[in-house]
Amino acid sequence: MVKALAKAYTRADFRREFNQLKASPMKFTFGKGDLSHLDSKGGKEETLGTTRLEAVKNPQGEIDKSKSQVTITLDLDRATTPTVVAREEVHHGVQADNDPAKFDQGQHAKDSPANQAVHDQMESDAHAFANQYYEQDDPNTRISQDEAEDKIKEMMPEPSKGPAPEKPQ
């Protein structure tokens, strides 16, 4: 996971987006998992990443970013271009951070044509950002892979194993 995120982090456009997630009052969690169960029937489209907003609303019905959480899962074992997958899902995270109500609406695409339209626009936007990886960027704004890995590790420390479970007496 660190290597895929770090490879994307070498570029300034991804660094801006990743750093936005880190600075957000919303909690962002990254994980690795098998998402093959989400592939479209008939195998026409693989799901290699997901971004899910667990929205908590305040009494006025607005999403409270400080109590909400976004979970980003990457299927790195099946991804042939893990950096592009990471870019797309981090961009979805930025979408959730920028407009959590709109992102939440898009998560419920099957509920209405309006929600489906929001979902489709967010997908199109995230695909475009992800595919910018293949475009030339300014070499003066790049950082090395080693430097990027150090920054990612600093921002995303490995989860602690926690205390050992107590033995029954």
Q: pLDDT tens across 99-140, in order?
A: 999 999 999 988 899 999 999 999 999 999 999 888 888 888
- Strands 27-32 and 69-74 turn out to be parallel
163 pLDDT band, cuts 50/70/90, is very low
pLDDT at 43: 63
Q: What are phi and psi of 146, to 5 degrees?
A: -65, -45
Strand segments, DSSP code E, in 7-117 are: 27-32, 49-54, 69-74
Task: Report whether 127 contacts 88 (CB < 8 A).
Answer: yes
Domain boundaries, the chain: 2-136
Token pair 């898009």 in the structure block, residue: 106
Task: Report whether 16 contacts 55 (CB < 8 A).
Answer: no
157 pLDDT band, cuts 50/70/90, is low
144 alpha-carbon distance from chain centroid: 22
pLDDT tens track for 9-56: 999 999 999 999 999 999 999 999 999 988 876 667 889 999 999 999
Output helix, strand, coil percentages for the chain, rounded to the nearest 5: 50, 10, 35
pLDDT at 58: 94
* N-to-C CA span, the chain: 39
pLDDT at 40: 79
Structure tokens at 61: 């019905």
Top-confidence range, 44-53, 85-94, 141-150: 85-94
pLDDT at 119: 94
What letter represents residue 94's amino acid?
Answer: V
DSSP H helices in 110-144? 113-131
pLDDT at 168: 47
CATH topology of domain 2-136: Arc Repressor Mutant, subunit A (1.10.10)
